[in-house]
Amino acid sequence: MPETPLSPAETDQLWLAETIALSRRCPVSTTAFAVGAVVVAGDGTVLATGHSREGDPHDHAEEAALAKIASGDPRLASATVYSSLEPCTRRASRPRSCTELIIAAGVPRVVFAWREPDLFVDCTGAETLRDAGVEVVEHPGLAPAAREVNAHLFTR
């Protein structure tokens, strides 16, 4: 008997669960969120993964993942960036935000679990991406799992 294909929402939740698992790999920081990201091509192929502070203390997850994909890769035109946290719009440590990097890469869809709290900066990632024509999907049912990885930031 053939397996029933996953719905788009189920597929999104599967990839978001992977981003939350990736966020658990992040070195602990008291000044930044632990975030995981996966870039998936339209055909379901994983193009890259990343997590905060993966190669540098200032790396963001989406930034780390997108840096592993050649600029202009045609698969980006049908890709989705999955992130455990809403992509940033402001950064103190780098000149380009994750939303700018996503838009510049030509990624048409972003899915995230947890809207960024105003703990470090005021983030308008979802709105900025939508204004640029990117489809944005939020799955707030997975937000508690993404927040739990960052619980130490809220107990100071």
Residues designated catalytic: 62
Q: CA-CA distances (angstroms) from residue 115 to 41, 46, 75, 143? A: 23, 24, 27, 8
Which residue type sits at 147?
Answer: R
H or E stretch including 36? strand 36-40
Residue 149 burial (CB count, 10 A): 22
Cα(69)–Cα(82) distance, integer angstroms: 15
3-state secondary structure of 38: strand
How far is residue 58 from each of residues 61, 92, 130, measured CA to CA in Å?
10, 9, 26
Residue partners of 155: CB distance under 8 A and separation at least 6: none
